[in-house]
């Protein structure tokens, strides 16, 4: 089964679930720049060795000021989705603040997953110390999160969107920070609403973690 089994036009529109949809192309470039700067801020704060109370207090006040300025605008509705065009001309929906792949989430890596030539999805991401667990290594929970996103996206594109009912992760080798992680996933088979999916993370061609998952497809409201 390939990811193009079901054309985008046959996938449920999130608006059928009462969720607003933003076009990816309509996300302002300046917001993307801001998201990147805030991610850099998270990484910098996590790693700063600055101890001067005046410098730290000034930084906190500056962050509070810009937070208050942005908070003057209404917040997005929870569950806001983004529609993304895929390289093959297809399209997909994702939650705009998704912690793994959300366009507007500064805490997200973010992971961009696209259809793979041989079926399934693939993506590449390099993680900084924001995602550190053991020294120099990616946190195991984040490895599971990356794989969850990959199996969920593979299932959604090949069939229709669902929730993860079961996710089993095998941690084969340590997954390093600051190295490109190649992430792939593909549907193995479907049974009624259940979609059996496999995924893995490779570093320099070697599998560091792999997952098997069951996604249960959500039912579209009439």
The span of 27-35, 51-59, 127-135, 152-160 binding ligand PKZ (CB under 6 A) equals: 152-160
Nearest to 82 by CA among 167, 21, 37: 21
Nearer to ligand PKZ, 139 or 194 (CB): 194
Does position 166 interact with ligand PKZ (CB under 6 A)? The reply is yes
Where does residue 218 rank: exposed (0-12), middle (13-18), buried (19+ CB within 10 A)?
middle
* Out of 102, 120, 123, 161, the residue judged to bind ligand PKZ by CB under 6 A: 161
CB of 73 to ligand PKZ, least distance (A): 25
Binding-residue pattern over the window 93 to 132 for ligand PKZ, x denoting contact by CB under 6 A = xx--------------------------------------
* The token pair that represents 175 in the structure block: 């997954």
Which one of 83-91, 121-129, 160-168, 178-186 is the stretch in contact with ligand PKZ (CB under 6 A)? 160-168
- The secondary structure of the chain in percent helix, strand, coil, rounded to multiples of 5, reads 30, 30, 40
Q: For residue 142, state whether it binds ligand PKZ (rule: CB under 6 A).
A: no
CA 186/CA 197 separation, integer angstroms: 6
Q: Are 121 and 150 in contact (CB under 8 A)?
A: yes
Single out the residue of 102, 121, 131, 149 in contact with ligand PKZ (rule: CB under 6 A).
Answer: 149
**Contact (CB, 8 A) for 80 and 72:** no
Residues 3-42 binding ligand PKZ (CB under 6 A) are: 12, 14, 17
Region for 128 from its dihedrals, namely left if φ exceeds 0, alpha if ψ lies in -120 to 50, beta otherwise = beta
Nearest to 128 by CA among 171, 173, 179, 172: 179
Per-residue string for binding with ligand PKZ, 191-220, x by CB under 6 A? xxxx-------------------x-x----
In the complex, which residues of this chain contact ligand PKZ (CB under 6 A)? 12, 14, 17, 93-94, 148-149, 152-153, 156, 161, 163-166, 191-194, 214, 216
């Amino acid at each position: 089964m390939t990811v193009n089994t079901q054309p985008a036009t046959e996938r449920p529109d999130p608006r059928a679930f009462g969720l607003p949809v933003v076009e990816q192309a309509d996300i302002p470039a300046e917001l993307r720049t801001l998201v990147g700067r805030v991610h850099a801020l998270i990484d910098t704060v996590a790693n700063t060795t600055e101890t001067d109370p005046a410098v730290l207090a000034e930084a906190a006040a500056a962050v509070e000021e810009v937070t208050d300025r942005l908070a003057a605008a209404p917040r997005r509705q929870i569950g806001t989705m983004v529609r993304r065009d895929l390289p093959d001309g297809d399209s997909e929906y994702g939650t705009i603040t998704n912690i793994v792949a959300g366009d507007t989430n500064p805490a997200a890596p973010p992971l961009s997953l696209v259809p793979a030539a041989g079926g399934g999805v693939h993506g590449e991401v390099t993680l900084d110390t924001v995602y550190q667990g053991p020294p120099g290594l990616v946190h195991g929970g984040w490895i599971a999160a990356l794989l969850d996103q990959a199996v969920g996206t593979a299932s959604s594109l090949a069939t229709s969107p669902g929730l993860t009912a079961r996710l089993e992760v095998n941690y084969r080798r340590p997954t390093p920070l600051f190295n490109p992680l190649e992430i792939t996933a593909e549907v193995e088979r479907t049974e009624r609403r259940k979609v059996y999916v496999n995924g893995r993370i490779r570093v320099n061609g070697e599998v560091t973690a792999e997952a098997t998952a069951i996604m249960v497809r959500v039912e579209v409201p009439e």
